[in-house]
């Protein structure tokens, strides 16, 4: 009868490599998210700087109160 070869070392190595690859993927996603957030902040800052400031509109003072008498039409 043949003995079953001991491959537990390969199994452990396979799991280790799989977890390392998944960890690198998660780290990559985190770094991409961080860079995207920084880019968004930069674009918002540039957008706010490039917008022209709205002209200040002063309200005109009412000159005199208008009478509420009806206007007569000319015939």
- The yes-or-no verdict on residue 18 having pLDDT over 70 is yes
| pLDDT surpasses 70 at 49 | yes
Q: Look up the pTM and report it.
A: 0.56
Residue 21's alpha-carbon distances to 8, 10, 25, in angstroms, are 20, 16, 6
Q: Check residue 1 and give its pLDDT.
A: 79
Burial call 5-15: b when 16+ CB within 10 Å, e when fewer? eeeeeeeeeee
pLDDT of residue 65: 61
Listed by start position, the domains of the chain span 22-50
């Amino acid at each position: 009868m043949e003995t079953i070869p001991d491959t537990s070392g390969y199994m452990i190595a396979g799991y280790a490599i799989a977890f390392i690859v998944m960890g690198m993927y998660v780290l990559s996603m985190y770094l991409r998210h961080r860079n995207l957030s920084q880019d968004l902040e930069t674009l918002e800052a540039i957008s706010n700087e490039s917008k022209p400031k709205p002209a200040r509109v002063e309200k005109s003072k009412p000159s005199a109160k208008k009478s509420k008498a009806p206007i007569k039409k000319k015939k």
